[in-house]
Amino acid sequence: LDEVKFGTNWLAQAEHGGFYQAVVDGTYEKYGLKVEIVQGGPQAANRALLMADKIDFYMNGNLLGSFSAVEQGIPLIEVAAIFQKDPQVLIAHPDQGLETFEDLAKLPTIFMGKDGYSSYFQWMKKAFEGFSDAQYKPYTFNPAPFIADEQSAQQGYVTSEPYAIETEGGFKPKLFLLADAGFETYSTTIEAKVGFVEDNKDLVQRFVDASIIGWYNYLYGDNEAANAAIKKDNPEMTDGQIAFSIKTMKEFGLVESGEALESGIGCMKAARVTAFYDQMVDAGVVKADLDVSKIYTTDFVCKGVGMDLKK
């Protein structure tokens, strides 16, 4: 068995379900891999660990990170994109007369993480009228300030925060998925060092395939054991939250939409990456003239692996 360390970008949750599934149901093992999942967190340094070769694969949030890597000359490459859509969402109170994404510009306050501020918010300011820095307030990963202030919005993962707000805050918030507003990045990509990929093509292929199979099984098969593993890693996780996440992932087509429907989970297409890059250059979020072809490879995906598991 080849030992592989895979670092996620957050604490264990249903959004990582496919990977846990592949671990617990023996898919990785079948593919000759012994995978250890290293949880992330708000300040965890899993990406730095990837760069320092302390882990082998990293779960990257969106492609902006990859653009930064190529800008800084860091040899990182995406080998699969598990989420076709970024689950990043802006959440607002109902009954505030907010109908479209642009309406968020009317709010005096948007709670955002610093990374959100320096990525999609820059895009929002460019792409829509009326967003401004004055709206920014820091999001400390606690939705209470948002709930306390009706005239505000906050960032979130469509699969997570809305659930907490609904159950604890007692109201059904309005959700504005960034992806639906035109923020067309892939998400939850599998990232590795370029050199590692070149030297271990077979291993990478096996990891990608097994992970994709894990995801099909997680979404359509018996995922109880995987959920148990998630709850073991993150004891704060509740069954309700997991069920909500899975439901939402399906509802919004996070994992399966676009190319994934034809070529299987994890599929990436050059055209979409380039289009997103141009969009971001236009918004002034990233530098122009980067060679974005370096940041991904489609060699390992879009092969229809595991599509037969879908029921």
Partner 1 sequence: MTMATVDNQHSLSGEKNRKATKSLPEAARWISVAGRMAIPLMMLVLLITAWSLYVWAFDVPHYILPSPMRVAVALYTDWPILAPALLVTLKITFTALTIALVGGVALAVLMAQSRIAERALYPYAVILQVTPIVAIAPLILIYAPSTQAALLICAWIVAFFPILSNTVQGLKSTDHNLLNLFELYGASRWQTLVYLKMPNALPYFLAGLKIAGGLALIAAVVAEFAAGSAGAGSGLAFRLLESQFRLNIPRLFAALFLLSLTGVAIFLTTNTISYLLLRKWHESALKREN
Q: Which is closer to partner 1, CB of 115 or CB of 180?
A: 115
Q: Considering the complex, what minimum distance in angstroms separates the CB of residue 65 from partner 1?
A: 8
Which structure tokens are listed for 280?
A: 């971001």
Q: Considering the complex, what minimum distance in angstroms separates the CB of residue 197 from partner 1?
A: 16
Query: Cα separation of 147 and 124, whole Å?
Result: 23
Q: Which is closer to partner 1, CB of 115 or CB of 299?
A: 115
Q: Which is closer to partner 1, CB of 100 or CB of 118?
A: 118
Which structure tokens are listed for 253?
A: 């087509």
Q: Considering the complex, what minimum distance in angstroms separates the CB of residue 291 from partner 1?
A: 16
Alpha helices in 185-258 (DSSP H): 194-199, 201-220, 224-233, 239-251
**Residue whose token pair is 């994890």:** 266
Closest CA relative to residue 123, chosen from 91, 90, 146, 161: 90
Query: Cα separation of 235 and 212, whole Å?
Result: 25
Q: Which is closer to partner 1, CB of 116 or CB of 306?
A: 116
Q: Which is closer to partner 1, CB of 167 or CB of 293?
A: 167
Alpha helices in 110-160 (DSSP H): 114-118, 120-127, 144-148
> Dihedrals φ, ψ of 233, to 5°?
-70, -35
Query: Cα separation of 289 and 285, whole Å?
Result: 13
Q: Considering the complex, what minimum distance in angstroms separates the CB of residue 298 from partner 1?
A: 23
Chain centroid, CA 134 distance in Å: 27
Q: Considering the complex, what minimum distance in angstroms separates the CB of residue 38 from partner 1?
A: 9
Which structure tokens are listed for 72?
A: 């800084």
> Dihedrals φ, ψ of 7, to 5°?
-100, 130
Q: Considering the complex, what minimum distance in angstroms separates the CB of residue 200 from partner 1?
A: 19
Q: Considering the complex, what minimum distance in angstroms separates the CB of residue 202 from partner 1?
A: 25
Closest CA relative to residue 122, chosen from 295, 292, 291, 279: 279
The binding site for partner 1 (CB under 8 A) comprises 11-12, 39-45, 47-49, 51-52, 54, 65, 68-69, 71-74, 112, 114-115, 117-118, 133, 136-138, 140-145, 147-149, 160-161, 164-165, 167-169, 232-236, 238, 241
